[in-house]
Amino acid sequence: MIKPNTPPLVVIMGVSGCGKSSLATRLAKHFDYRFLEADDFHCEQAKKRIQQNLPLTEEIRESWINRITVFLCQNLQPPTVLAYPGLRREHRQRLRELGYHSIFILLHGDKDLISQRMNSRDGHVLPSSVLTSQFSALQLPENEPDIFTLDLQQSPETLTTTSIALLNQAFAL
C-alpha cells in the first residue's frame, strides 16, 4: 500500500540496451506517471565516453546518481518511472532513501540478444566489449526483495502486462 505523501518510484533497471526506456515509457503512459530517463542526467565527460564506447568510471557513475537523486528530492511529489541501469547496489540503495515508495524491475537476460537488438536499432555494430563490461559491472540483486527480475527476451507487450500486474500488487493500486 502506498503511504500518504510517499509517491511511487518505479525504477526500470539493467544493462545498456536491455529495454529500459521502452518498458519505462509504456508504464509511465499506463499509470500516467512522470517518466525520467537517467541518460538525460549525464555529464559531458560521460557522454564522450559513451560515444567512444568506453565504460563509465565509478567516479562518473557516482556523480550521475548524485544528480538524479538531487533532482528526485527537489521534485518529490509526482509518481515517477525512472529508466536507470542501477548496476551498483549502493546506487540502488540511494534511490530507496529518497522518500519515495520505490520498486525496481530488472530486465535481465541474454547478452547476444541485446547485441542483436542494439545493432538493428543503431544501424552500426556495437562492440561486444561494451556489453561485456556492462554485465561485469552489474551487481545482481542480493537481499533486495523490492527488485523483480523479468526476462528481457519477452515481447514488449508481455513485459508491460507483467510489470503492470506486479506494480498493482506492490502498490495495491
The closest of 91, 88, 44, 83 to 65, measured between CA atoms, is 91
- By CB under 6 A, residue 21 contacts ligand ATP: yes
- Distance between CA atoms of residues 163 and 167, nearest Å: 6
- By CB under 6 A, residue 85 contacts ligand GCO: yes
| Near ligand ATP in 23-82, by CB under 6 A | 39
CB proximity list for 55: less than 8 A, separation 6 or greater? 49, 130, 133, 134, 137
- Distance between CA atoms of residues 112 and 52, nearest Å: 21
Closest distance of CB 77 from ligand ATP, Å? 25
Q: Tell me which of ligand ATP, ligand GCO, none is bound by residue 121, counting a contact when its beta carbon lies within the kind-specific cut-off of 5 to 8 angstroms.
A: ligand ATP
From residue 107 to residue 146, the character string flagging contacts with ligand GCO as x (rule: CB under 6 A) and all else as - is ---------------------------x--x---------
Q: What are 121's three cell numbers?
A: 536499432
- By CB under 6 A, residue 26 contacts ligand GCO: no
Nearer to ligand GCO, 39 or 146 (CB): 39
Q: What are 167's three cell numbers?
A: 506494480
* Amino acid in position 21: S
Binding piece for ligand GCO, criterion CB under 6 A, among 49-57, 70-78, 97-105, 139-147: 49-57
Beta strands in 6-117 (DSSP E): 8-13, 34-37, 80-83, 101-108
Residues at the contact surface with ligand ATP, assessed by CB under 6 A: 16-22, 39, 83, 117-118, 121, 154-156, 159
